[in-house]
Structure 1
């Protein structure tokens, strides 16, 4: 059985390395007869690999396109390239790919041989990226460890700022600038949101398994959006935009607030700030008409800013 399994892996590797093979070439590479090769091809098909056969003297085998993605075999160079690419995408370089890349990275790193880990680490160490001031510097290794703990429902103990916290990790959520961990804090007996860049690596060994608790509203993205955009601030605002949610979504960040559709022509923006002037300016530059629903103190601030802008835009005679 072991010999057959090893031969199937070798056959799969050959089919992935080149587009077309003759039966004689494959049989010679594997050291088997044509009948054994045919049986091995049927075994691969039974495992979900779409191996196509062309009859005739010039016929042969090729790996076709299937309905599902079967497991892939990678050599060392390919594995290093995949891990580096996933790390780059997971840390936000490829817009819109962060969470999918992180899930894939967690799966790949779990089975990565130590010799490949060393090569990846060396390449990462000697690579310098030109970061912006907004970059938070969270490592891909830490993100992968957090994602694995979420997936496996394992408790973790982390150093967050200056305190030690024991958590039941639930989900990782990415905004345009940062990663956030949503977890049940055992010490606070409540849900908490943690900035991933403020968690000190490395994580300790995985703790006991737990049964995930039901999340309020069941939407991790909405929960974190509310936690980071409204809950911590002095002023809580609701603004009615005279535009559909689909139009306003690209103009607002989940880190700044949460959009809620009213009908096909309007939506409400829930946000917060410690400054009424910042709130006024943020909603004023969205390019659509709006109404302030809350707080009422925001309305006179808008009048004051409007008067100031009007004076700035009015030509004055020079002395």
Structure 2
């Protein structure tokens, strides 16, 4: 019986690669007869796994979608990955902590000692990066509603609170992107004839529309790149002790990609934009702006201008006292 169970689990692992394999190929991999393979397939079906028989040239057996939740089999690396994901997901989604905790406890109980030790090595504690201001955890119901519309390719109707009053939009949802600890929806707005990168924490979804749409080609091909370079993705300047802005001689898409969390980028021209950000001190804020290595103008407020003057004085003093390089260096 133990040998049969081990062979059946191995068969399930083989099906997990997603390929369609003949009974003869499966028998070779398992070191068993074709008759035994077919009996093991029947066992998996009894457990709730949808093993499909594919006819014709290139046919065989493959793993389909189950009609009920069957037992799940992980190898060691998969179990560790699932444990890490279950620990981190409450930081991104609200209303899911209890379920994630129960799932993690179930997974730990099923793990052999070695796997459990590996998973515990990845135990994570919440820590704050003082240059990033992630949004609060997203309501899991909103992610579920938007994600369902994406998977079904159905229009989604939402109330969105951006910079001003909330507006009601009907969108073609394409992808969800998590970047810099924030959730974004990549969607096409047919009424405005434009693509949007929208903060999911500012979305309230209406009832499902059940109206299908055809997918479009996303700008930059990659939805992640689109979000990273979208200057109007709905970010807001975080509260800092010191906050200022300057016009940079760089495109808004370039600055948006590298701007610290909790900053905003305002499009000015094709080659300039205004960056608003904060820091714990005015010299620190000045240093952040200088990291963009671009000409800056229209610097506000006066404290930021003074900090830049001070940095220039210190740098000039340091360069003046530096030992000149030897000829030929």
So what's the TM-score if we normalise by structure 1?
Answer: 0.46
